[in-house]
Amino acid sequence: MQEWEQEEPLIIERGKGSYLIDTEGKKYLDGTSSIWVNLHGHRHPALDRAIKTQLDKIAHSTFLGLSNPPAIQLARELIRIMPKGLKRVFYSDNGSTAVEVALKMAVQYWQQRRPEAGPKNTFFHLKLAYHGDTLGAVSVGNIELFHGRFKSLLFPTLEADPPYCYRCPLNQTYPSCQMACLDPIEQILKKRHRELAGFIIEPLVQAAAGMITAPPGYLTRIRELCTKYNVLLIADEVATGFGRTGKMFACQHEGVTPDLMAISKGLTGGYMPLAATLTTEEIYKGFLGKYEEFKTFFHGHSYTGNQLGCSVALANLNVFKKEKTLARLQPKIKTMTRLLQPLRQLPHVGDIRQRGFMVAIELVGDKKTKKPYPLEARMGHRVTMEARNRGLLLRPIGNILILMPPLSTSLHELTSMVEILQASIETATLALASGPRP
């Protein structure tokens, strides 16, 4: 915060399409989709209209003991586009709470379905995971910078190395490794499955970890292992959902159906806070019982099923259909891959990871040894400030640059983003190598 106070803040007043506009009228390409939420561009007419139309009826009423048409319609539409078998929807208000719901639901499900088998109340997750900032979500996360200070508040979990091929913890090389990082996961599941309520994973891409992309077949194998050892698979699709990986949901690349799925971010096209946790009919039935049994899921939020949010979410899904968003995205993904290739030759670009429209560029001080830049160099920040001066807004994760534009970004805008990014990397890395920044 001290350094932030010393920099002149950028105040965004308006937006249009792929651009954000500050109070002085300067335009910036939105290279992060306003932190991974915007899909169809800012001020999309259909999304604007959905909120205005709903506002003429009602903005919000409680979901406790009641319901409303937009929430009912949205649940039907979500079930239609979900991986096969996800049939029930539980609304909340953001990605962290969608994850919290999934964790609590898993624990209560096992209590009520198999009380005689002993408690299944421990969770298994990957290292470097990020599932949100509420304490349950933090407990199943593993980013020391974000989570280290709060360890005394967290519940214990089990964890295993992620498929971080660029910095393989097993010092092996893909594909000759044959995904050896799965072996420790199976060993833990085999040994501890009786106490494990669930395995939580960001399918295909660990986003906040720096867009760590899993090899093909990795998710399928995780699903098989969870089924084999009777552990619920929880898919956190908060970041990966709604087209970001090239399909509506990342799980669909490998035909995987999780037992629970958390969604948010792109759910409303970047317009309103809204989230949902989806699950199977089998898990839903575990919460049915007589009144005096109190098997219901005692969890709720003031703005659960909010009409404005559900209305714009419905409009968002309609835009996907009407504008054939996913089909139109495929050539853009290929173009992005092509545009990124020259950046691989830059002397301080160690790795480029891409899945669909999710991209990470990992900067290193020494390309041969993969030695990172020291924290005090603030290289990611230097590059983003250079990009900002050139009209592109980004937000790095340390030395890792993230590019995740709106799905509606044109080929021309995409080209501009990558060109600015390349020039900014070249300028910032050269300036640091040449001496202290003026």
Residue 166, pLDDT score = 97
Q: Please indicate, yes or no, if residue 136 is contained in any of the structural domains.
A: yes
Domain end marker among 269, 290, 322: 322
Predicted pLDDT of residue 150: 94
Does 64 share its domain with 117? yes
**Considering its fold, how many domains does the chain have in total?**
2
The CATH number assigned to the domain holding 199 equals: 3.40.640.10
Task: For residues 351 and 241, state if they share a domain.
Answer: no
The answer to whether 268 touches 36, Cβ cutoff 8 Å, is no
The whole-number average pLDDT for the span 209-215 is 97
316 and 355 housed in the same domain: no
Whether 387 is covered by a domain: the verdict is: yes
| Residue % of the chain over a pLDDT of 70 | 99
Of the candidates 322, 342, 376, which is a domain's last residue? 322
The 10s digit of each residue's pLDDT in 39-59 is 999 999 999 999 999 999 999
Instruction: Examine residue 41 and state whether it is found in any structural domain, yes or no.
Output: no
Are residue 171 and residue 268 in the same domain, yes or no?
A: yes
Runs of H (alpha helix) within 200-345: 218-228, 281-285, 307-322, 325-340
pLDDT confidence bin for 9, thresholds 50/70/90 = confident
Residue 43: inside a domain: no
Query: Is pLDDT of 438 > 50?
Result: no
For residue 57, count other CB atoms closer than 10 A to its CB.
Answer: 12
Could you tell me if 336 and 286 lie in one domain?
no
| Same domain, yes or no: 304 and 333 | no
Give the pLDDT of residue 435: 62
Same domain, 218 and 273: yes
Is residue 428 situated within a structural domain? Answer: yes
Per the structure, the complete domain to which residue 386 belongs is given by 2-30+324-434
Contacts of residue 72, defined as CB under 8 A and 6 or more positions apart, other chains included, come to none
Helix runs in 156-229, H state only:
182-192, 218-228
Q: Is residue 38 part of a domain?
A: no
For 15-83, the DSSP string reads EEBTEEEETT--EEEETTHHHHT-SS-BT-HHHHHHHHHHHTT-S----SS---HHHHHHHHHHHHHSS
- Residue 60 region by backbone torsions, left for phi larger than 0, else alpha for psi between -120 and 50, else beta: beta
pLDDT tens per residue, range 417-437: 999 999 999 999 998 877 654
Joined tokens for residue 158: 């089990």
Claim to verify: residue 63 and residue 196 sit in the same structural domain: yes
Label residue 23 by pLDDT band (50, 70, 90). Answer: very high
- HSE-up (13 A, CA, CB side) for residue 92: 21
Residues 219 and 360 in one domain: no
Report the mean per-residue pLDDT for the chain: 96
**299 and 165, same domain (yes or no):** yes
Position 299 in a domain? yes
Express each pLDDT in 269-302 by its tens digit. Answer: 999 999 999 999 999 999 999 999 999 999 999 9
The 10s digit of each residue's pLDDT in 149-189 is: 999 999 999 999 999 999 999 999 999 999 999 999 999 99
